[in-house]
Amino acid sequence: MLSALTQRVGIARIALRRLFASPVAGFLNIIVIGIALSLPTGMYVLLQNAQSLVAQLSGSPQISLFLEMDATSDDATHIRQQLTQRHDVGSIEFISRAKALEKLQTSTGLDDVIAGLESNPLPDAYIISPTLSKPEELEALRRDLQGIPKVKLAQLDSAWAYKLEAILEFTRVLILVLASLLSLALIAVTFNTIRLQILTQRDEIQVAKLIGATDAFIRRPFLYFGAIQGLLGGITAWLIIELSLQLLKPPLASLSQLYASNSTLQALTPGDSISLLVFSAYLGWLGAWLSVAQQLSQIEPR
């Protein structure tokens, strides 16, 4: 077992020497891989922060029921009885026309304007906290409540948050498509790099096959090369994302102060960071494997 480990360490050293044999080309390949990986990963980080922000802003959804202007106290009582019998309705708060006008007067400070009104233009209203959470269920409940007699309008107060959630879902799919395309591009980069290496070492590979070297033995240093190059590209992507988040934190702090918020950018979690590095190393390994599998089949000892 120790000899096998020593052999693998030796192969890794060979791969590192090949990687830095042409330092400029190797560095550029790593930078390209890092930038390509940082694009979907950075979008993923921003998406996670956006989801957290939406959760903070939207809070618990509420439905406001505005009654008809000619609704009587008996109508309001009858509506309340219907609401209390529903299992999908939690807390219920009734706001009378007089109380709504008083709140408007207190919040706006337009005492003279409101005092000059001939009549109260505001309707009675119920503020309902549903027991549901899914957007489609809340919208169905809103439409159902809209149909209650003497209800003029049923308004889902956090509808904007659910619209934003739909946009975030679209962004998730976009990130997946972008990540898939860039992954194919990174495999192609590694594929081409390994192909050029095999072509330059064609004579050495032929000699190795003449003395009995197997394809697995010849393939291993190239696979290590691809995995190490992909891993270094993943580390570069991680550094790009961390640096970008540090640059974004000061302007975000200034913006949060203006809106009296405590929003902060969350970086990649340890699990996400490990996944990024493992995935980048796998892409490099896969590109190398595909390249070696194609090229070795075309090289036979003479």
Per-residue pLDDT of 226-265, as tens digits, reads 888 899 999 999 999 999 888 887 776 776 665 555 667 7
Q: What percent of the chain has pLDDT over 90?
A: 8
Going along the chain from its start, the domains and CATH numbers come out as: 2-57+162-296 (no CATH), 61-157 (3.30.70.3040)
Q: CA-CA distance, 142 to 157, in Å (whole number)?
A: 10
Q: Model pTM greater than 0.75?
A: no
Q: Hey, what are 134's tokens?
A: 């899914």
Per-residue pLDDT of 156-212, as tens digits, reads 876 566 666 777 788 888 888 888 888 888 888 888 888 888 887 777 777 777 777
The pLDDT assigned to 54 comes to: 62
Average pLDDT over residues 112-124: 66
Quote the pLDDT of residue 282: 92
Q: Find the mean pLDDT for residues 108-115.
A: 57
**DSSP characters for the chain?**
-HHHHHHHHHHHHHHHHHHTTSHHHHHHHHHHHHHHHHHHHHHHHHHHHHHHHHHHHH-S--EEEEEPTT--HHHHHHHHHHHHT-TTEEEEEEE-HHHHHHHHHHHH--HHHHHT-SS--PPPEEEEEES--SHHHHHHHHHHHHTSTTEEEEEETTHHHHHHHHHHHHHHHHHHHHHHHHHHHHHHHHHHHHHHHHHHTHHHHHHHHHTT--HHHHHHHHHHHHHHHHHHHHHHHHHHHHHHHHHHHHHHHHHHHHTT---------HHHHHHHHHHHHHHHHHHHHHHHHHHHTT----
Q: Which of 222, 178, 239 is nearest to 31 (CA)?
A: 239
Is the model more confident about 57 or about 276?
276
- Residue 280 predicted with pLDDT over 60: yes
Handedness of CA 15, 21, 27, 29 (dihedral sign): negative
How confident is the model at residue 73, as a pLDDT?
Answer: 85
- Average pLDDT over the chain reads 79
Give 30-40 pLDDT, tens digit per residue: 898 899 888 88
